[in-house]
């Protein structure tokens, strides 16, 4: 049928008004992803290889760019990788975690559990799979506990998960009396320890506990942390300590004198 004949037929059938119908197949998106995933597994039309560790993943640039601003910028900008047929993450990304991200890109599904949630959050943030980062943060929020809140505080702070950070921060303040005796506490960065002990919301029955926490933190690596002691002690409310405690533990104790 010629274009002119088609136009004539359309005008005759319309009688001055156009009858239209919207066809929308709701399963089309799932069907499309399923077929793209099959093409990926068969390495049909794939145009880039992602490498992590000793594994290689054949993918479609268009799919990756549609799911990740990281890949969109990489493939569309002036970066060297925009022309390369291979992107190698070396050991900066675990291959099993990358596989989970790719499975999500091609299926809109991923299983998050206690073993992979932190890694997925980190990788999701790194590759800008923001939905994965946020879903992993939500999972960790639901599994937040005094035993892991220090680690969650640092993780969420590094990857800009504001709600997880606020929840873990409050839990750290509320459980400081037990947390300062843990290995996680001894590995806190100085700035985070300083923020904790300086907070007006720190829940401790006795300021001597804060003093002991600072001393224990320094003693865990005296050579590296000794220079931080004076600044940390300024955050301890020494005026709240009994005079007897000050004389015994602060003014005359050998360990504190040697540090200062």
The string of DSSP letters for the chain reads: --HHHHHHHHHHHHTTS--------TTHHHHHHHHHHHHHHTT-S--EEEEETTEEEEE-HHHHHHH-HHHHHHHHSSSGGGT-SEEE-TTSS-HHHHHHHHHHHHHS-----TTTHHHHHHHHHHTT-HHHHHHHHHHHHHT--TTTHHHHHHHHHHTT-HHHHHHHHHHHHHTHHHHTTSHHHHT--HHHHHHHHH-TT---S-HHHHHHHHHHHHHTTHHHHGGGHHHHHTTS-GGGS-HHHIIIIIIS-HHHHHH-
| Boundary-marking domain end, from 71, 87, 109 | 109
How far apart are alpha carbons 41 and 57 in whole angstroms?
9
Among 66, 92, 109, the domain-final residue is 109
- Looking at the fold, whether 138 and 68 belong to one and the same domain comes out as no
Instruction: From 40, 90, 91, select the one nearest 64 (Cα to Cα).
Output: 40
Q: Same structural domain for residues 150 and 101?
A: no
More confident residue, 230 or 134: 134
Q: Tell me the pLDDT tens digit for each residue of 163-214.
A: 999 999 999 999 999 999 999 999 999 999 999 999 999 999 888 899 999 9
Alpha helices in 68-110, H assignment, sequence order: 69-76, 95-107
Closest CA to 145 of 164, 161, 160, 163: 164
Same domain, 198 and 253: yes
User: In which residue are the tokens 């035993």 written?
Assistant: 147
What integer is the mean pLDDT of 33-55?
A: 95
End residue of a domain, out of 109, 142, 163 = 109
153 lies in some domain: yes
Instruction: Convert the pLDDT of each residue in 114-167 to its tens digit.
Output: 999 999 999 999 999 999 999 999 999 999 999 999 999 999 999 999 999 999
Q: Same domain for 166 and 239? A: no
The label of the residue with tokens 């793209």 reads 36
Strand partners, 247: none
Q: State mean pLDDT over 19-39.
A: 92
Distance between CA atoms of 33 and 48, rounded to whole angstroms? 18
The distance of Cα 244 from the centroid of its chain, to the nearest Å, equals: 46
CATH of the domain at 212: 1.25.40.420
- 260 and 208 together in one domain: yes
| Residue 22 forms part of a structural domain | no
pLDDT for 137 equals: 97
Considering the domain boundaries, does residue 148 fall inside one? Answer: yes
Indicate the pairing of strand 55-59 with strand 86-88.
unpaired
Residue 192 belongs to domain spanning: 179-260
Q: Among 154, 217, 206, 233, which Cα is nearest to 182's? A: 217
Tell me, what CATH number does 135's domain have? 3.30.710.10
Same domain, 216 and 241: yes
Averaged confidence pLDDT in the chain: 89
Whether residue 235 is found in the same domain as residue 258: yes
Contact yes or no for 153/168 (Cβ under 8 A): yes
Query: Same domain, yes or no, for 61 and 135?
Result: no
The pLDDT-based confidence of 77 (bands split at 50, 70, 90) is confident
Please count the structural domains in the chain. Answer: 3
pTM summary value: 0.83
């Amino acid at each position: 049928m010629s274009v002119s004949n088609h136009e004539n037929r359309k005008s005759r059938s319309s009688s001055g008004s156009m009858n239209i119908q919207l066809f929308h197949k709701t399963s089309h998106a799932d069907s499309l992803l399923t077929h793209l995933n099959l093409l990926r597994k068969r390495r049909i039309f794939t145009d880039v290889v992602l490498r992590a560790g000793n594994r290689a993943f054949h993918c479609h640039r268009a799919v990756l760019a549609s799911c990740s601003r990281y890949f969109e910028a990489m493939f569309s900008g002036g970066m060297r990788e925009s022309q390369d047929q291979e992107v190698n993450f070396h050991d900066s990304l675990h291959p099993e975690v990358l596989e989970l991200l790719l499975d999500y890109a091609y299926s809109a599904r991923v299983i998050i559990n206690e073993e992979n949630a932190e890694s997925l959050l980190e990788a999701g943030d790194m590759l800008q799979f923001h939905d994965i980062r946020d879903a992993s943060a939500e999972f960790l929020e639901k599994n937040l506990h005094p035993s892991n809140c220090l680690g969650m505080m640092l993780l969420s702070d590094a990857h800009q998960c504001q709600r997880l950070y606020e929840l873990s921060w409050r839990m750290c303040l509320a459980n400081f009396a037990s947390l300062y005796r843990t290995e996680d506490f001894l590995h806190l960065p100085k700035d985070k320890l300083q923020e904790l002990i300086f907070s007006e919301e720190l829940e401790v029955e006795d300021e001597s506990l804060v003093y002991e926490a600072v001393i224990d933190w320094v003693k865990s690596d005296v050579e590296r942390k000794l220079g931080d002691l004076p600044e940390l002690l300024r955050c301890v409310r020494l005026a709240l300590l009994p005079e007897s405690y000050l004389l015994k533990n602060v003014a005359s104790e050998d360990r504190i004198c040697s540090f200062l």
